[in-house]
Structure 1
Amino acid sequence: MTDSLPAGFTPWYPSSQFMRHLNDLGPFYRRKADNVLALRVTTAHGNMHGMAHGGFLATFADSALGLVISEDAHVSVVTAQMSVEFLNAVNPGDWLE
């Protein structure tokens, strides 16, 4: 595992109280040039099998989409419905964008 960040990423500090709580599990990063949110997955994001918890991954994806859409459209948005199908496990040490 490496602690270095890919080029262009800086710490992202969420404005919502819920996302600030999740950010305490391990910091989020943002590459503003192309509106990408990311994080380095740690054991704090894990489930009982040692991989990233699916609920956390879905929440992170929902928040990333909401941020990008609201900033691009200049309106507030909320998720009305969301369905997630996981393609593979995400493990501690993985860089997730």
Structure 2
Amino acid sequence: MTECEITTTDAPSKKTAGTDAGVPEGFVALDKLGGYMANFGRLYIHAERRTLAVRIGECHLNNLGIPHGGMLATLADMAIGKMMSLETGQSKQAVTVNLSLDYLDSGRLGDWLEARVDFEKLGSRLRYGTCRVFSGERCLLRATAIFAVLAPRT
């Protein structure tokens, strides 16, 4: 696949990974995302492994023909936030207040990227997580993030 699919909710699809060519076992397609993420491309989740994944398409490339750094940053930020939401429950939403990135390598068109998440602390006001984005065995990006828990809206 070289084109990015346009999708729009963040509920897991009933379609299993086995029906999507080239998607590893255990990954489930996320259905449509809205807003900024609507044009990102199809995302896949493996909740047990705390991993969000995507196949690199044309829309992810910069003018050098490699994935744009902003695309990798978005993937890491989305992965950390999504896994935190799953771990802590959707009732207490959080927003990114700090995202630190180290670019280590570059991917290529068609690569399967996996954003693997770990948590440092999931507090009542602040949440700390890390993410490493892999293409196969190669680590492309290392990210650390702090999320602030939002107060309930009245």
- Alignment TM-score, normalising by the size of structure 2: 0.55
Structure 2 CA distance for aligned equivalents of residues 8 and 31 of structure 1: 6
| Structure 2 runs not aligned, ≥5 long | 2-20, 115-154
* TM-align CA RMSD: 1.7
Aligned to 1:50: 65
- Alignment TM-score, normalising by the size of structure 1: 0.84
Structure 1 CA distance for aligned equivalents of residues 32 and 97 of structure 2: 21
State the percentage of identical aligned residues: 35
Structure 1 CA distance for aligned equivalents of residues 86 and 45 of structure 2: 13
Which has a greater percent of helix?
A: 1
Shift of 1:64: 0.7
Q: Determine if the alignment matches structure 1 residue 60 to structure 2 residue 75.
A: yes
Q: Which amino acid aligns with 2:75?
A: F
Instruction: Report SS of the residue matched to 1:83.
Output: strand
Instruction: Report SS of the residue matched to 1:88.
Output: coil
User: 1:32-47 maps to which residues of 2 (within 5 A)?
Assistant: 32-47=47-62
Shift of 1:16: 4.1
Greater RCO structure (CA 8 Å; 6+ sep):
1
Q: Which protein has the larger Cα radius of gyration, Structure 1 or Structure 2?
A: 2
| Structure 1 runs not aligned, ≥5 long | none
Q: How many residues align?
A: 93
Query: Which 4+ runs in 1 deviate beyond 6 A?
Result: none
Q: Which amino acid aligns with 2:30?
A: W
